[in-house]
Structure 1
Amino acid sequence: METQRLVVDNNVESEKSYTQAVNLLAEGEIVALPTETVYGLGAVATNEAAVKKIYSAKGRPSDNPLIVHIGTKEELSEYVDTISEKAVKCMDAFWPGPLTMIFKAKPNVFAKSVTAGLDTVGIRMPSHPVALKLLQALGMPVAAPSANRSGKPSPTEAIHVEQDLAGKIPLILDGGATGVGVESTVLDLTKEIPVILRPGAITKEMLEEVIGPVDQPTHIEQEQGAPKAPGMKYTHYAPNAPVYLIERNKQIVQEAIQYLQTKDYKVALIAPAFFKELSPDWFFSIGNTQDEMASHLFHALRACDSTDAQIVLATATSTEGVGAAIMNRLEKSAGGKWYTPNNK
């Protein structure tokens, strides 16, 4: 299969690209598209055969549910049993935007592969203009996990999608680099006290200002069977070389680099910009603020694969605000491993 990557902007030619994408989706094909978080790999969420193409292209486990994207708030009532007062408040405050809400799904609406056999579904309305225009032109719900090979860092640029999925999908809509850089917050509204299943740019603090108490477990305990949201069960975001978390302390990091290099390891360091003066074999800055870190994290993890690094050290950050999302992704990437001289 030949994969086209078409740039979409405000010129006339872009209209042809949108039309091509809409037609492909309507015909049961899969299309990669930008959202404000990461690039997604979309299929019409009511078409079982189309949704299965997502799993095949990504190599994604079949018990990992998919998030459904919609183009208008009004559509939501077509797909879910009830919309609570808290859900309405969240929609008013954060939609369109990087918030996915878990609802009880109406039976026999979505393809079984979307919900992974659960009676719940995660739905969001993205704010990226390309995603919104495509969804509104299509007029159907689109299931869209991140457009990468399963387990690898999520794509924040169209070229990342092309690197992972060229030859496996027909079309990538190139809308430039994404903004947020980490996937949407997933909020389970089926509980009496809503629970954050996956942290993101819409933080616990932001949600509590709108709907009151919200739970955010440090580690989500897995139930038997399918997880309620993506990213809860499997290793994610991993470059080829093993990743180890390390305290964000220059002296500790420098000592770790020197020790590893004496053992003939080639070391890549992912850290804030002010760590640049240290001496790893490769350094990838993720900025200094948490928003910068979120935006640059996946790009840095992917960049490690262009090196010969044998170990990747990634500095930890605070779990306040969007830091919870950053640490969630880093812990997934590292498989929970922290660096100590004894484990190398």
Structure 2
Amino acid sequence: METKVWLVDKFVDELITYPQVQEAAGFLQKNEVVAFPTETVYGLGGNAQSDKAVERIFKAKGRPSDNPLIIHIADSQQLGKFVSEIPEKAAILIEKFWPGPLTIIFNKKEGVLSDLATAGLSTVAVRMPDHPLALAVIKAAGLPIAAPSANLSGRPSPTTARHVQDDLFGRISGILDGGPTGVGVESTVIDCTENIPVILRPGGVTAEQLQEVLGEVRFDPALTDSAQAPKSPGMKYRHYAPDAPFYLVDAGKPFIQELILQKQAEGLTVGVLTTEEAKDFYKADIVYSCGHRNRLETVAEALYDTLRAFNNTNADIIFGEVFPEKGVGTAVMNRLKKASGHNIITE
């Protein structure tokens, strides 16, 4: 399959009229699939009302079809077309955080969206991205767009168009290249179909921010118990992993260095995922920093790019530091635990 790449190097009010955006929107209207940037990661979009388009998303990603997709919209007025109601707490979140990195789960109207997009569930996950190019192509298409991350299933999510090309070139119809994304980790997913909203996936909007506007919120037990099946789109299977075996190490730097020396003595090439503050401490074969420990938003922004960077090395094993699980650190650690398959070494 030919994959067309459209470069959009500036964002202006008339972005919807750009030929690149119009052509990409035309592909979506024809039930082709197109990757585009959001403020979190690049998404792989298709018409959420078309079984054919959704099937193409799953096929391109190699994603199991029992894993529901997030529906992206450009105008909150679209919600009424495919959700049965907008609970009061959901309306508060929409007012506060849309457009932005927050996905809200609603009860859906039957017969409007492709059942494949919602994996046959009675609910639907919806968000409005905070990125001018994403909003422009969704508006131009005039459709609700189902869009998981634009990567091969299981690999780190893409934060640049190059990442998308590395995974999906020749597998999808087009890529809108709008430069690097900003937040770096996917949207927070919160279920508002229950009386007390439940965070199903931590992300760009923190639990603390949600509690500030809603009061009580709960976490899905699956976030802390890997034996429980998660309910959130994109969280059901191992995800975000680099090619080499990856282990988190919940210990001090000297203990991690001892692990490095042990594996080097076994003849292995060892990589370490760390931060700017510690990168000069480790004597590993490959040492990559993903940001500053005292500014976890920089870690979130660079996390997937750093995990992918290990795939261009000869690393046989990778050790990663852990981070405080507060603020965006909750999302960072959620992704790192998934990437490691919940393999965590302690002293």
Structure 2 length as normaliser, TM-score?
0.94
Which residue among 316, 320, 328 is the counterpart of 2:322?
Answer: 316
**Equivalence for 1:7:** 7
Aligned AA (1:44): N
Residue 248 of structure 1: how far off its partner (Å)? 5.5
What does the per-residue CA deviation read over 1:229-253, in whole Å, with 9 as the maximum and x for residues that have no partner? 2233210011110110012622122
Residue 219 of structure 1: how far off its partner (Å)? 3.1
What does the per-residue CA deviation read over 1:30-67, in whole Å, with 9 as the maximum and x for residues that have no partner? 00000000000000100111110000000000100000
Residue 217 of structure 1: how far off its partner (Å)? 4.0
In 2, Cα distance between the equivalents of 1:17 and 1:86? 38
**Equivalence for 1:90:** 93
CA RMSD of aligned residues (A): 1.9
The more displaced of 41-50 and 215-224 is 215-224
Q: 1:218 to 1:262 in 2, by over 3 A?
A: farther
Aligned AA (2:84): D
Aligned AA (1:284): Y
In 1, Cα distance between the equivalents of 2:230 and 2:329? 23
Aligned AA (1:116): A
Residue 300 of structure 1: how far off its partner (Å)? 0.7
Could you say what secondary structure the match of 2:209 adopts?
helix
Could you say what secondary structure the match of 2:32 adopts?
coil
Q: 1:93 to 1:87 in 2, by over 3 A?
A: same
**Equivalence for 1:250:** 253
Which residue among 282, 299, 302 is the counterpart of 2:286?
Answer: 282
In 2, Cα distance between the equivalents of 1:146 and 1:248? 32
**Equivalence for 1:53:** 56
Aligned AA (2:303): L
**Equivalence for 1:175:** 178
**Equivalence for 1:304:** 310
Q: 1:262 to 1:227 in 2, by over 3 A?
A: closer
In 2, Cα distance between the equivalents of 1:248 and 1:157? 32
User: Is the contact between residue 7 and residue 173 of structure 1 (CA under 8 Å) also seen in structure 2?
Assistant: yes
Residue 161 of structure 1: how far off its partner (Å)? 0.3
Could you say what secondary structure the match of 1:339 adopts?
strand
Q: 1:67 to 1:223 in 2, by over 3 A?
A: farther
**Equivalence for 1:334:** 340
In 2, Cα distance between the equivalents of 1:189 and 1:125? 16
Q: Spell out the pairing of 1:91-106 with structure 2 (5 A cutoff).
A: 91-106=94-109
In 1, Cα distance between the equivalents of 2:183 and 2:105? 21
Identify unmatched segments of 5+ residues in structure 1.
none
Could you say what secondary structure the match of 1:102 adopts?
strand
Provide the identity percentage: 49
What does the per-residue CA deviation read over 1:281-308, in whole Å, with 9 as the maximum and x for residues that have no partner? 1111111121011011100110110001
In 2, Cα distance between the equivalents of 1:80 and 1:218? 26
User: Is the contact between residue 65 and residue 227 of structure 1 (CA under 8 Å) also seen in structure 2?
Assistant: no
Which residue among 214, 217, 239 is the counterpart of 2:217?
Answer: 214
Q: 1:290 to 1:282 in 2, by over 3 A?
A: same
**Equivalence for 2:150:** 147
User: Is the contact between residue 222 and residue 233 of structure 1 (CA under 8 Å) also seen in structure 2?
Assistant: no
**Equivalence for 1:75:** 78
**Equivalence for 2:231:** 228
Could you say what secondary structure the match of 2:116 adopts?
helix
In 2, Cα distance between the equivalents of 1:111 and 1:272? 43
What does the per-residue CA deviation read over 1:165-198, in whole Å, with 9 as the maximum and x for residues that have no partner? 0110111000100000011000000111110000
The more displaced of 299-308 and 227-236 is 227-236
Which residue among 251, 260, 263 is the counterpart of 1:260?
Answer: 263
User: Is the contact between residue 64 and residue 227 of structure 1 (CA under 8 Å) also seen in structure 2?
Assistant: no
In 2, Cα distance between the equivalents of 1:37 and 1:100? 12
**Equivalence for 2:27:** 24
The more displaced of 35-44 and 248-257 is 248-257
Identify unmatched segments of 5+ residues in structure 2.
none
Q: Spell out the pairing of 1:89-128 with structure 2 (5 A cutoff).
A: 89-128=92-131
Aligned AA (2:179): G
Aligned AA (2:189): V
